[in-house]
Amino acid sequence: METMVMMAGMDLPIRAIREQVASAVDLIVHQTRFKDGSRRVTHLTEVERMEGDIITLQDVFVFDNSAGFDENGRILGRLRSTGLRPKFLEKLAYANVAVDPTIFRTERI
């Protein structure tokens, strides 16, 4: 996003661009293509705040592929909670979006 702003000819300092991005984006959804050709969402990451010139991020869910591959070579796994509750839940509640807090529990195996 920083690069797109800079390519648009906006003469803004990089810190100002990052502050705007950090205040506008709550969640990043990261998708990965695995060697079997499938694409899976592998990270749901919260954009937290600025610390100096750096935007801090926090993973909320991460894809666990410890099960490996099935007999046909397809990736096995699923998203697992990191146990951290995102701070943007307050914004969702304000918009009347209910989120069950139990989805953020880590599972004991």
| Mean pLDDT calculated for residue range 61-83 | 90
Give the Cα-Cα-Cα angle 28, 31, 35 (nearest 5 degrees): 160
Mean pLDDT of the chain: 90
Tell me the pLDDT tens digit for each residue of 93-109. 999 999 998 999 887 54
pLDDT cut 70: percent of the chain above it: 98
Judged against a pLDDT cut of 50, whether residue 11 lies above it is answered with yes
Look up the pTM and report it: 0.82
Tell me the pLDDT tens digit for each residue of 35-71. 889 999 999 999 988 888 899 999 999 999 888 888 8
Phi, psi torsion values for 62, nearest 5 degrees: -135, 140
Run of H or E including 70 = none
Tell me the CA distances in angstroms from 91 to 79, 86, 88, 97, one per residue in order.
Answer: 23, 10, 5, 9
Look at residues 80, 82, 75 and name the one whose alpha carbon lies nearest to residue 39: 75
